[in-house]
Amino acid sequence: MSEEIQSLPDKAWARVRAKLRQEFGESVYRSWFKPLILRGVDGSKVELSAPTTFMQERIEAQYSDRINAIWKLESGGSITTLGITVLSASSSENFGLNNLELKQDSKTPLVSKNVKVDNPLEAALDSRFTFENFVVGKPNELAYAAAQRVAGSDDVNFNPLFLYGGVGLGKTHLMHSIAWEIRRRDPSRRVLYLSAEKFMYQFIRALRFKDTMAFKDQFRSVDVLMIDDVQFIGGKDSTQEEFFHTFNALVDQNRQVVVSADKSPNDLEGLEERLRSRLGWGLVADIHPTTYELRLGILQSKVEKIGVHVPIKVLEFLAHKITSNVRELEGAMNRITAHATLVGRDITLEATQEVLHDLLRAYDRRVTVEEIQRQVASHYQVRMGDMHSARRSRAVARPRQIAMYLSKQLTQHSLPDIGRRFGGRDHTTVLHAVKKVDELCAVDVGFKDDVEFLRRMLET
């Protein structure tokens, strides 16, 4: 075979590996795909080799379909089958493979011994996410106080602590803060923090490899279990079931459980009733959308920390404009300071507007629920207060439903979130409004024109 021909599979293999890395993430890639070696291509079959039988079996069970599919794609359809063989230890050393992985026998899990990992399930904690770096304001004071209580006491006061709120409002930050604080106070307490997504992934993996016992043990031996973004397991029945049992086992042993989600236990979709109610047993603390004061406070604290001079006018401008969540606020701030450092110019209001030009334009076009309420109220000549009130007369209820409908259509807010902004109504009320307006639009042309008119007014 000439060198030229031989390099073709190599190139395809590089692309396949890049895809795998992208799809499964760095750590899965490093554990499972990086040690694979391309042996060659024989007709429409590609041969890969794994360093151990253990790896070969698991890759075949778990990843071979996907690897095969990607090969097919990357080879333009010329490769249709995949073979994975085991490379003998002596020959594999010639390929410069990591000896560590070669020594794995079929019983030890694949965790690199170079890194100290107490529990392979453990997700890394962000060193910036501490209580100290968390700015407290009205919208998050309850969640903050509850998190501090959990972190600062050895007794379990409420179980679980359930933190919820929209994206980018500080849930993960608070959870990491709890973990840091508990470890600082008592390094011997075992704290396990992980995302619900990872919990599910690991559970499915354990099922597939029939080692659910080990999986269960890993969870049931911790002192504090924290599961982030638990909405993720909605609709995934067997994972929910397992989570429910893990949860009960820990609570029974008086271990602390902390859970976060984007909605309250009641509003979580696809969750079994018993889990939903169990999650609401402890303390449920919500984080509200930010206020202007909190946004300004966060910006000030951030500026202090990075030690650049930013005029207060710029901070006020940002706090006023970037209202969606803290993550976007931080992003905007980072862009401004990065720009200033790069071009070596002072940060001014003009420069800020210039640098954030695209972001700000998107914001100016984004309609808020409040604007929708105002526009609809004025169109139907009802009071703004009626959007939040409990009055049920048709004259105010209908405009209110239209405003809910338009909020669902024109903003990114979820049904529960919209309900909250209409005087704390339930998400089913919003859902009902959306259906009702749709129905009326279908049968009443005049009504439909009205709604369309309002939509156009709000969109431009």
Residue 264 interacting with ligand ADP (CB under 6 A): no
Residue among 92 and 140 whose Cβ is closer to ligand ADP: 140
By CB under 6 A, is residue 288 in contact with ligand ADP?
A: no
**Residue with CB nearest ligand ADP?**
170
Question: Which residue lies nearer to ligand ADP by CB, 75 or 140?
Answer: 140
Q: Is 319 in the site for ligand ADP (CB under 6 A)?
A: no
State the minimum distance, in angstroms, from the CB of residue 135 to ligand ADP: 4
Q: How far is the CB of 136 from ligand ADP (least distance, A)?
A: 7
Distance CA 293, CA 135 (A): 11
The 242-261 site mask, x for binding ligand ADP (CB under 6 A), equals --------------------
End-to-end CA distance of the chain: 64
Does residue number 398 form part of the binding site for ligand ADP (CB under 6 A)? no
> How remote is the C-alpha of 307 from its chain's centroid?
30
Q: How far is the CB of 172 from ligand ADP (least distance, A)?
A: 3
399: left (phi over 0), alpha (psi -120 to 50) or beta: alpha
The span of 201-209, 248-256, 322-330, 339-347 binding ligand ADP (CB under 6 A) equals 322-330
Residue-wise over 119-156: b if at least 16 C-beta within 10 A, else e? Answer: eebbeebeeebbbebbbebebbebbbebbbebbeeeeb
Of the candidate residues 135, 332, 415, 440, the single one contacting ligand ADP (CB under 6 A): 135
Question: At 42, which helix (H) or strand (E)?
Answer: strand 37-42
The smaller minimum CB distance to Mg ion, of residues 9 and 166, is found at 166
> Is residue 32 involved in binding ligand ADP (CB under 6 A)?
no
Residue-by-residue DSSP string for 44-57: TEEEEEESSHHHHH
The residue type of 277 is S
For residues 170 and 265, which CB has a smaller minimum distance to Mg ion in the complex?
170
Among 189, 327, 374, 432, binds ligand ADP (CB under 6 A): 327
- The strand order across the sheet containing 256-261 reads 191-195, 224-228, 256-261, 161-165, 283-287
Assigned token pair, 104: 């794995």
Q: At a CB cut-off of 8 Å and minimum separation 6, what does 429 contact?
A: 404, 419, 422
Contacting ligand ADP (CB under 6 A), which of 298, 310, 322, 454? 298
SS3 assignment, position 40: strand
Of 75 and 172, the one with the shorter C-beta distance to ligand ADP is: 172
Mark out the alpha helices in 118-223 (DSSP H runs): 141-152, 171-185, 196-208, 212-220
How many angstroms separate the CA atoms of 430 and 451, rounded?
16
- Binding region for ligand ADP (CB under 6 A) out of 3-11, 129-137, 240-248, 342-350: 129-137
User: Could you say which of 49, 52, 104, 172 contacts ligand ADP (CB under 6 A)?
Assistant: 172
The answer to whether 181 touches 131, Cβ cutoff 8 Å, is yes
In terms of CB distance, is 133 or 212 closer to ligand ADP? 133
For residue 337, the minimal CB distance to ligand ADP (Å) is 15
Among 168, 280, 289, 423, binds ligand ADP (CB under 6 A): 168
Residue 35 site contact among Mg ion, ligand ADP, none (CB < 5 to 8 Å, cut-off depends on kind):
none
Least CB distance to ligand ADP at residue 321 (A): 17
Is residue 246 within 8 Å of residue 216, measured between CB atoms?
yes
Contact positions vs ligand ADP (CB under 6 A): 129, 133-135, 140, 165, 167-173, 298, 326-327, 330
